Chains A and B, each alone.
Chain A
């Protein structure tokens, strides 16, 4: 069974940092591109970042470019999102999602809540 389990969310002050993790199981993690998508309370889905299967290529939404870094450890079957210089508008549930070849986000984690507030 495919499972994606996010962790690392919590309350952080503006300007602070946080690292999210997404533990994958039930599939060959190293074969899949992975993404982070976020959802502010009561709002819609917003794509954040993606990384290719071996970690050599990444992309970011303009709103997080230069502040967030996506990475992965295929030996540990884990995806990461390092978030620096956090702002109130980064407050959201952060989901990790799997993207197989030629198919969009087919599995999502349950999300982890990040709250940026003083």
Chain B
């Protein structure tokens, strides 16, 4: 079982705002990173660190953290944002890497 917990599925109306969360004890000490994965494709990094976006990632993607919960927010969701989203950080020991179970985002 993963040390990072995500809701299995979330939906959002086109153009609305959605927040995807990731919970885990290690998030009290380490930032989460977020990845978008579309069917048949490799994951793509969308948010890392406090709230950093790699080049090419739209600014509608943002990240935040509070206590043991990290959040990925999409402000004004687009049809192309429909995908699986995974959070990632270190495990509770700080030595190994863990991923959340993933959240399937549906844009209605």
User: Nearest A residue to B54 by beta-carbon distance?
Assistant: A106
Q: How far is the CA of A41 from the CA of B88 in the complex (A)?
A: 19
Q: How far is the CA of A46 from the CA of B100 in the complex (A)?
A: 9
Given the interface contacts A47-B97, A104-B33, does A111 sit within 8 Å of B42 by beta carbon? yes
B42 and A45 contact, CB distance less than 8 A: no
B48 and A103 contact, CB distance less than 8 A: yes
Interface bracket on B: 20 to 34
Q: How far is the CA of A67 from the CA of B96 in the complex (A)?
A: 17
Residues of B close to A45: CB separation below 8 A:
35, 37, 43, 86, 88, 99, 102
> Mask for B15-42, Cβ within 8 A of A = 1, else 0?
0000000000000000001010100011
Given the interface contacts A45-B35, A59-B95, A111-B42, does A105 sit within 8 Å of B100 by beta carbon? no
User: Nearest B residue to A60 by beta-carbon distance?
Assistant: B96
* A110 CB within 8 Å of chain B: yes
B96 and A105 contact, CB distance less than 8 A: no
8 Å CB interface, A66-118 against B: 95, 102-106, 108-111
A44 and B101 contact, CB distance less than 8 A: yes
* B98 CB within 8 Å of chain A: yes
Known: A102-B49, A104-B33, A106-B54. 10 other contacts (CB 8 A): A44-B99, A44-B100, A45-B43, A46-B99, A59-B96, A104-B45, A105-B88, A106-B45, A108-B44, A110-B42
Chain A residues in the interface with B (C-beta under 8 A): 35, 37, 44-47, 50, 59, 61, 95, 102-106, 108-111
Closest 4 pairs (CB-CB, A-B): A104-B33, A108-B42, A47-B97, A44-B102
Could you write out 27 A-B pairs with CB less than 8 Å apart? A44-B2, A44-B84, A44-B86, A44-B99, A44-B100, A44-B101, A45-B43, A45-B99, A45-B102, A46-B99, A47-B88, A47-B99, A59-B95, A61-B96, A103-B48, A103-B49, A104-B88, A105-B33, A105-B43, A105-B88, A106-B54, A108-B42, A108-B43, A108-B44, A109-B42, A110-B41, A111-B42
Chain B residues in the interface with A (C-beta under 8 A): 2, 33, 35, 37, 41-45, 48-49, 54, 84, 86, 88, 95-102
